[in-house]
Amino acid sequence: MKILIVAVLLLCCMSVFAKGPRSYRVKAYHAPRSSIVHVRGHVTKAGVYVAPSFRTEPNHTKVDNWSSKPNVNPYSGKVGTKDPYTTSPHGH
């Protein structure tokens, strides 16, 4: 199981950095295994099913979130798009 997870992570990282000159070529944050949290699949109060997923452990910073620039989600290979240094209109 661990070998499969490592293989998937390597493939995701390779696909992100092998996209050519327009891809992000900066050092991205990859959360230590201890700070990765599995989220169970569930149904919201509105009746919408949310599939199981992984996320970084909650903390008081946005810099280490996978959705923040230039971080890479090791499970999906997606590069973050949110600027972690700007504040939202709601102050969050």
* Sequential pLDDT tens for the chain (92 residues): 666 666 666 666 555 444 444 444 445 555 555 578 889 999 999 999 999 988 888 888 888 888 888 888 888 899 999 998 887 666 55
Task: Say how many domains are in the chain.
Answer: 1
Q: Looking at the whole model, is its pTM more than 0.85?
A: no
Full residue range of the structural domain in which residue 53 is found: 1-19+26-92
pLDDT of residue 12: 60
Task: Specify whether the CB–CB gap between 54 and 38 falls below 8 A.
Answer: yes
49 token code pair: 């099913």
CA dist., res. 25 & res. 16, Å (int): 9
State how far the Cα of 73 lies from the Cα of 51, in Å rounded to an integer.
16
